[in-house]
Amino acid sequence: MSVDTTAVETVNQAFYTAIENADLDRMTEIWAEDLEGDQVSCVHPGWPIINGRQEVLRSWALIMANTPYIQFVLTDVRVMVLGDVAILTCEENILTAGDEGDSSFAAGKVVASNTFVRTSGGWRLWLHHGSPVLQTDDDEEEEAA
């Protein structure tokens, strides 16, 4: 595994840890700055595309403020580094809690693509795209077995 691959995986894990800990300051450090003419982008599952660093960070603040508990277990993590750009794909296995006072939990799966750019401050997130994986009846039968 290359030094770059390890560094990208480390920043990627920090991204998910920031979500779990509702750490907007850390999230702000992880996202790249917009460039003249180019903006970072984010696609949350079921949302339209969000462009621009300020808008992306605002979306994370909203999610963090309205998510009492979330945990990610990442599987099938794959990294490809092409010069100053790295693409990481993974499956996000997510556990979330219900509203405050509700002791229920929900589980789900999202496939994600995270694109990082190399900056003078290290690797920074340029694009996050998460798509929900819809559970089929066959999946439910496998889980019950």
pLDDT in tens, 47-70: 999 999 999 999 999 999 999 999
* Predicted local distance difference test score (pLDDT) of residue 14: 98
pLDDT tops 60 at residue 145: no
* Predicted local distance difference test score (pLDDT) of residue 129: 98
* Predicted local distance difference test score (pLDDT) of residue 104: 81
Query: pTM value?
Result: 0.89
pLDDT tops 60 at residue 140: no
Residue 137's pLDDT band (cuts 50, 70, 90): low
* Predicted local distance difference test score (pLDDT) of residue 1: 76
* Predicted local distance difference test score (pLDDT) of residue 105: 86
Mean pLDDT of the residues in the chain: 92
Question: How far is Cα 23 from Cα 15, in angstroms, rounded to an integer?
Answer: 9
Question: Does residue 135 come out as left (phi exceeding 0), alpha (psi in the -120 to 50 range) or beta?
Answer: beta
Torsion of Cα atoms, 63 then 65 then 61 then 59, to 10°: 30
* Predicted local distance difference test score (pLDDT) of residue 143: 59
